[in-house]
């Protein structure tokens, strides 16, 4: 059996430690005993970008915000779909995740971080949302609204946070939220915030695997 090798650790603001591990060609990022992401499991993160792009359509100069770099699945899928005039901001609150993407996982990330459409922001996604005028805001910073990985992130999913996200979207813009599990209370809050909501089930891999949930909430 090929052993797992620890490549790096990083403190999460507010508490907790991330660990980057490698086994052969496979990478994983752990938070405590929980595996947050694995390089073999990209299906639902890619669906987050693909289906957001479907909903944004072919409007010119798309401005997209991705909350959470992770292993870059969502970023790479978005860049593959968006035009040359698009701008994609990626907010990542743990600087080491960006360092890992440029270091031990550089070959895995390819040229996504140096793409002229990409802007990496090492900071809280809530502050970047406030920049406003987004066509799409994609959030994958937790295991979902009921699986907060960092204290303070809950403000993204409450009524006030949803109102701020809606105000930051252009007309017809989309707020997309990834989750490892369904949440009827969160779906209700999206509806109460004035969004047109579409709840989609996406599999962890192209061939199957765990069922994840993505809410696509459109500003009418």
Structure tokens at 13: 């603001």
Neighbours of 187 (CB within 10 A): 18
User: Which runs of E-coded beta strand occur in the chain?
Assistant: 5-11, 17-23, 26-31, 34-38, 63-67, 87-91, 118-121, 134-139, 169-179, 195-205, 208-219
Neighbours of 117 (CB within 10 A): 18
Q: Which residues of 129-143 are buried (b: 16+ CB within 10 A; e: fewer)?
A: beeeebbbbbbbbbb
Closest of 33, 86, 94 to residue 67, by C-alpha: 94
Structure tokens at 26: 């496979």
Q: So what's the pLDDT on residue 151? A: 55
Instruction: Match 């990834």 to its residue by tokens.
Output: 178
pLDDT (tens, 9 = 90+) of the chain, 220 residues, equals: 788 999 999 998 878 899 999 999 999 999 888 888 999 989 999 999 999 999 998 899 999 999 999 999 999 999 999 999 999 999 999 999 999 999 999 999 999 999 999 999 999 999 999 999 999 999 998 777 875 555 566 789 999 999 999 999 999 999 999 998 899 999 999 999 999 999 999 988 877 788 999 999 999 8
């Amino acid at each position: 059996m090929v052993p797992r090798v620890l490549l790096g650790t990083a403190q999460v603001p507010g508490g907790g430690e991330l660990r980057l591990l490698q086994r052969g060609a496979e990478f994983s990022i752990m938070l405590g005993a929980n595996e947050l992401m694995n390089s073999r499991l990209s299906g639902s993160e890619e669906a987050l970008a693909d289906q957001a792009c479907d909903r944004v359509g072919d409007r010119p100069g798309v401005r997209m915000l991705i909350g959470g770099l992770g292993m870059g699945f969502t970023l790479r899928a978005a860049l593959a779909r968006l035009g040359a005039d698009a701008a994609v901001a990626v907010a990542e609150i743990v600087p080491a995740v960006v360092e890992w993407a440029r270091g031990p996982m550089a070959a895995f990330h390819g040229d996504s971080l140096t793409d002229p459409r990409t802007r990496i922001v090492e900071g809280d996604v809530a502050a970047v949302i406030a920049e406003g005028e987004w066509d799409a805001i994609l959030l994958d910073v937790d295991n979902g609204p009921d699986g907060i990985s960092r204290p303070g992130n809950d403000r993204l999913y409450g009524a006030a946070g949803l109102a701020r996200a809606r105000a930051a979207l252009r007309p017809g813009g989309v707020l997309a939220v990834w989750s490892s599990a369904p949440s009827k209370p969160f779906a209700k809050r999206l509806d109460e915030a004035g969004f047109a909501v579409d709840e989609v089930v996406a599999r962890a891999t192209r061939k199957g695997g765990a069922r994840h949930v993505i809410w696509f909430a459109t500003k009418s």
